[in-house]
Amino acid sequence: DQQVKQNSPSLSVQEGRISILNCDYTNSMFDYFLWYKKYPAEGPTFLISISSIKDKNEDGRFTVFLNKSAKHLSLHIVPSQPGDSAVYFCAASSLERDMRFGAGTRLTVKP
Amino acid sequence: EAQVTQNPRYLITVTGKKLTVTCSQNMNHEYMSWYRQDPGLGLRQIYYSMNVEVTDKGDVPEGYKVSRKEKRNFPLILESPSPNQTSLYFCASSLSSSSYNEQFFGPGTRLTVL
């Protein structure tokens, strides 16, 4: 039972445009959400997070939006750069539960 | 440099031959965890450890063992590997056992069981 879902396995955008990666979750107990980025032959690295008491968190070109009523979060990258090409994992956790990860979305940013 | 290291990075073995994948962190983190990554399934937790001598099962513990005798090391043991354990494995650590902490991942171990 996948409690965190990333329904788009891949996404391709042009350099300079916005990339929007989506994530849905089913467990309403989740109250902390993270995005990790993974390059080939490396482990995932933490990118940005958001607590359920917020609906937006911004860090430079990266913004995460949380819609609790829809159990949906998204990661916006503006502007997208070729170096952003990677697999992005959404993760969710709560006090009672360890982190659960989505299947990942492969982002390709074309020059 | 703060890091999580795993060895080996690549391993090809045969069914039933016991193997150990080592994991070590130099950040004095309390919490350590093992994940496997499979296509379409993302990262699934195998085992985790909240502190020395404290380990617990994750979502997919069958066929695996772990130990945490020292804070920095958290080896993953496959007593009798099978082909369905062919996967990419990641070790991770975080400062405390709180689910709210970001985790630091090792570079991964690609295991093939023939």
- Reported as a single tens digit per residue, the pLDDT across B21-64 is 999 999 999 999 999 999 888 899 999 998 999 999 998 999 99
A97 contact residues in B (CB cutoff 8 A): 99
Whole-number pLDDT of residue A70: 97
pLDDT band of residue A94 (cuts 50, 70, 90) is confident
The more confident residue out of A56 and B40 is A56
The beta-carbon neighbor of B42 closest among A34, A93, A103 is: A103
Identify the pLDDT of residue B102: 87
Q: Do B44 and A95 touch (CB under 8 A)?
A: no
Minimal C-alpha gap between A16 and chain B (Å): 28
Average pLDDT over residues A60-74: 97
Q: Which pLDDT does position B99 carry in this prediction?
A: 67
* Segment B57-91, tens digit of pLDDT: 998 999 999 999 999 999 999 999 999 999 999 99
**CA pair distance B59, A22, nearest whole angstrom:** 24
pLDDT at residue A1 tops 70: no
The predicted structure's pLDDT at residue A96: 67
A10: Cα within 13 Å, side-chain hemisphere: 4
Q: What is the pLDDT of residue A2?
A: 75
Q: Which of B58, B90, B102 sits opposite A43 (nearest CB)?
A: B90
CA–CA distance from A53 to each of A6, A34, A66, B55, B100 (Å)?
22, 14, 9, 31, 13
To the nearest whole Å, the CA of B14 is away from the closest chain A CA by 23
Q: Using a pLDDT cut of 90, give the percent of chain B over it.
A: 83
Residue with tokens 């090391």: B73
What was the pLDDT predicted at B2? Answer: 84
Q: Is the pLDDT of residue A14 over 70?
A: yes
Contact A38, A104 (CB under 8 A): yes
Q: What is the pLDDT of residue A72?
A: 97
